[in-house]
């Protein structure tokens, strides 16, 4: 079965994140933070400058934003590698949102359903 999701350019990112949220299990606040970081810098989302811009855009303190970043890290939406220059990157499902205009989901069950 194929399900089409109507969207438009200005809302595509939010619709995409909401669609894959069944896998990611994010809150609406986490989706909003993810969307802001994706729009700021896809390749280095959590740089110091981007954190400041995101906190300002969301009208939050840096401490509140850092709590959301930790939550995204715990849910493996933001991947952390302290050995790299760019320590935070997005999970490939999120990072490749521009390329994923068509997604196919396959359900596998352990009980052979």
Per-residue model confidence as pLDDT tens for the chain (113 residues): 777 888 888 898 999 999 999 899 999 999 999 999 999 999 999 999 999 999 999 999 999 999 999 999 999 999 999 898 899 999 999 998 887 767 777 777 887 65
- Burial bucket for residue 37 (CB in 10 Å: 0-12, 13-18, 19+): buried
Report CA dihedral (20, 25, 27, 32) to the nearest 10 degrees: -40
37 inside domain: yes
110 inside domain: no
- Please give the model's pTM, rounded to 2 decimal places: 0.85
42 inside domain: yes
∠46-51-53 over CA atoms, to 5°? 130
What range does the domain containing 51 cover? Answer: 10-95
108 inside domain: no
CATH number of the domain residue 50 falls in: 1.10.10
For the chain, the domain total comes to 1
Report CA dihedral (47, 17, 96, 60) to the nearest 10 degrees: -10
């Amino acid at each position: 079965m194929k399900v089409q999701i109507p969207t438009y350019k200005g809302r595509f990112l939010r619709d995409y994140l909401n669609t894959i949220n069944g896998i990611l299990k994010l809150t609406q606040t986490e989706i909003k933070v993810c969307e802001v970081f994706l729009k700021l810098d896809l390749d280095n989302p959590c740089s110091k400058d981007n954190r400041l811009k995101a906190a300002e855009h969301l009208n939050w303190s840096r401490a509140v934003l850092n709590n959301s970043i930790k939550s995204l890290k715990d849910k493996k939406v933001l991947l952390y590698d302290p050995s790299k220059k760019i320590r935070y990157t997005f999970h490939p499902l999120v990072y490749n949102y521009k390329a994923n205009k068509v997604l196919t989901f396959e359900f596998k069950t352990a009980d052979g359903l």
